[in-house]
Chain A
Amino acid sequence: MLLVGNPNTGKSSLFNALTGLNQKVGNFPGVTVDKKSGSFSIKNNKVKIIDLPGTYSLSANSEDEKVTQEYVEKATGDEIIVVVADATNLKRNLLLLTQIIDLGKKVVLVLNMMDLLQRNNHEIKVQKLSMLLGIPVIPLNSRIGKGIEELKYAIANYQSKSTKFIEQKTSSNVIDETMLRYNKINQIVNECLIVNGEDKLAILTRKIDNILTHKVYGYLIFLTLLFLIFQAIFSWASYPMELIENGFLFLGEKLGNALPDGMLNDLIVNGIIAGLGGIVVFVPQITMLFAFIIILEDTGYMARVSFLMDRILRSFGLNGKSIIPLLSSTACAVPAIMGARTISNVKERLITIMVAPLISCSARIPVYTLLIALVIPKESSWGIFNVQGVLMMGLYLIGFVAALLSAWVMKMLIKSKEKSSFMLEMPIYRMPRWKSVGIEIIGKVKVFLFDAGKIIIAISIILWGLSSYGPSDEFEKIEVKYANIEQSDNSEELQSQEASEKLEASYAGIIGKTIEPVIKPLGFDWKIGISLVTSFAAREVFVGTMATLYSVGDEDNTTTIRQKMMQAKNPNTGGKLYTKATTYSLLIFYAFAMQCMATLAVVYRETNSIKWPIIQVVYMGLLAYFSSLIVYTIFS
């Protein structure tokens, strides 16, 4: 069974209601951009069901619509195509239906959003419609699942008079054919749809749009909204964060005391616990970020932001539709890059994919927060603004500006004659469904935690191995050297000195030392070098790596990673290692560098070529390197 229909008619909502899965739902056209299959049972019979991207017709434009078109055309005699129509917009929704009927497929029509039709006081004569179309018609409300049983019944007992909707195509011209269809649809709609009074929902939506798409207020409201989101994330979230941080410190201390001393203790307490703690602590912020984005997507506001931004984005080689992937990149670039499928212009879609990872994502939050705290005291403020918060916002802004400028450069470099357009449906405003918002947030936070968690544990173990062992003779020499001194003087300081010399001689140290000359101009030492290497898998790993590297010599596990890094000394000057210059330079590096395997994999998949991910790594790498160089030079 296939779910097909115009965009935003509730196909995915119906899919979820039938299968119990949590396919993403949102109030803008083009939420689903790929097929997704599931199954449900009718009287012990398993039925396979595929949710497809929405499309207006079978003459597809964009990548997501092509998927649907292909599935519909290939549908076999056993597959029932369920066309999900928005009951409040019958005429247009029936067009696609009649095209599918004329392909000779088995079709069921679902009239979704019956609750809205009723709220408008309109009515559809369902039986008559079914008779005129010659197919089963099921009224439904997929938000609450009303009508699902009837749909199951219709599928189990499928029957239809297989008639063509329009006679053998008299003309070869698609436009004439479409007009012919509409003429017939008009007659049917006139007979079946009873309109009592005005369309209240549409009127309400226009009223809201009078403000939200206003030439001046529209933009002001959008900026204020972004600012509020930042305030929330970077000030309100600090309370639960402190709790979590202290919790992990406590756990580390207890475990550290309980386990026997030695390397394994180090690995567990300093590598894994500290690394995980470094990620879990950001759950409150990331939850809030996801929540805001999901709410914006669910209300219908995203389509308006696209409208407001189209003109500006166009000058940078992007499209108004690019704003949805770009905004959702603040959470994670991976789904955002897939979301770019709705952009039908190949060049604009490609540029959107290429620049999306420059937008600061949730994986940067741990890095930014840790680094900012090294140089800016928590309390410092400019008037009512918290300086840490302002710096954080600045980094996001820099990411956005860099994305726009890179887009502009690519616009100049990539040649294309393809026409660009911006035809986007404005959905009616809806209240978010809080329960599913909650489920979606939990799902996303889980992915963030577990995906990051897996990588952190894996890398902690590898890193622990690499930093505990080295070419054997080097290690022995150090051991012998300290064994001699220790006989007379066995201070803690000496022990930590030994440990740090060992780290330097270890394999990890050798890696760091090898790249040190390259990154030295940016103000980075070999320890930072190691973390740049490990961060290539995922940026969050930075925190865990730092935890492992700086744990050396700290036997009591009583200090946070932040405190350890603050105390770190520059061996050459004897001053602080994390000066303003080094820290800012590192921040910029993390803002721009392409350090995410998952993103590269999805870029490879979406562009279908190895060329674009490589270009992405190189250009973002160069951008990061030279920006950091400039920043370091200015501040030192």
Chain B
Amino acid sequence: MEVTLDNLKEKEKGIIRQIKDENLALQMLTMGFILGEEISVERIAPLKDPILITSGTNYISIRKSDAQKIEISKIN
């Protein structure tokens, strides 16, 4: 199912498909979040913002506004 990253609940996973914002895409890439790889949501702060996400050995925080630009396909 194609959704944006902010729709995942804690501990849910997906595959990174596309990042609309070019700067964000580049920043995510350099921090180890690569298109086509698995991404999961570890923790959602109160008010759903920010969130902690992981991909492989990378583990970072990101704001909801950025998460909304990251398109993923959800894995069940």
Contact B29 A88 (CB under 8 A): no
Residue of A nearest to B22 (CB): A175
Q: Tell me whether A615 is interfacial, beta carbon within 8 Å.
A: no
> What 1/0 flags go to B32-56 for Cβ under 8 Å of A?
1011000000110111011010001
What is the CA–CA distance of A390 and B57 in the complex, to the nearest angstrom?
A: 44
Contact among A91, A179, A320 with B61 in the assembled complex (CB-CB below 8 Å): A320
Provide the A83-101 mask, 1 if CB < 8 A to any CB of B, else 0: 0000011011001100000
Asked if A61 and B27 make an inter-chain contact with CB atoms under 8 angstroms apart, the answer reads: yes
Stretch at the interface among A158-166, A416-424, A450-458: A416-424
Residue-wise, chain A 188-220 has the 8 Å CB interface mask toward B (1 for contact) of 000000000001001001100100010100000
Name B47's closest neighbour in chain A (CB-CB). Answer: A311
A426 touches B30 (CB 8 A): no
B3 adjacent to chain A (CB < 8 Å): no
The reply to whether B50 and A311 form a contact with Cβ atoms under 8 Å apart is yes
Q: Tell me the bound Cα distance from A279 to B62 in angstroms.
A: 43
| Residues of B with C-beta under 8 A to A206 | 42
Which chain A residue has the least Cβ–Cβ distance from B63? A422
Residues of A within 8 A of B43 (CB): 209, 213, 307
- A57 located at the interface, meaning its Cβ lies under 8 Å from any Cβ of chain B in the complex: yes
- Given A213-B43, A311-B46, A311-B49: A56 touches B57 (CB 8 Å cut-off): no
Residues in chain A near residue B75, CB distance under 8 A:
none
Which chain B positions have C-beta within 8 A of A426? 52, 59-61
Cβ contact within 8 Å between B45 and A311: yes
Contact of B26 among A175, A213, A311 (CB under 8 A): A175
List B contacts of A421 (CB < 8 A). 24, 27, 62-63, 65-66
Residues of B within 8 Å of A96, CB to CB, are 30
5 nearest interchain CB pairs? A92-B32, A57-B30, A56-B30, A89-B57, A426-B59
19 intermolecular pairs with C-beta atoms under 8 Å apart: A56-B27, A57-B26, A91-B32, A92-B58, A96-B30, A175-B26, A209-B42, A213-B43, A307-B43, A307-B45, A307-B52, A308-B45, A311-B47, A320-B61, A421-B63, A423-B62, A426-B52, A426-B59, A426-B61
B→A interface (CB under 8 Å): 22-32, 34-35, 42-43, 45-47, 49-50, 52, 56-63, 65-66
Binding site for B on A (CB under 8 A): 56-57, 59, 61, 88-89, 91-92, 95-96, 174-175, 178-179, 182, 199, 202, 205-206, 209, 213, 215, 303, 306-308, 310-311, 320, 419, 421-426
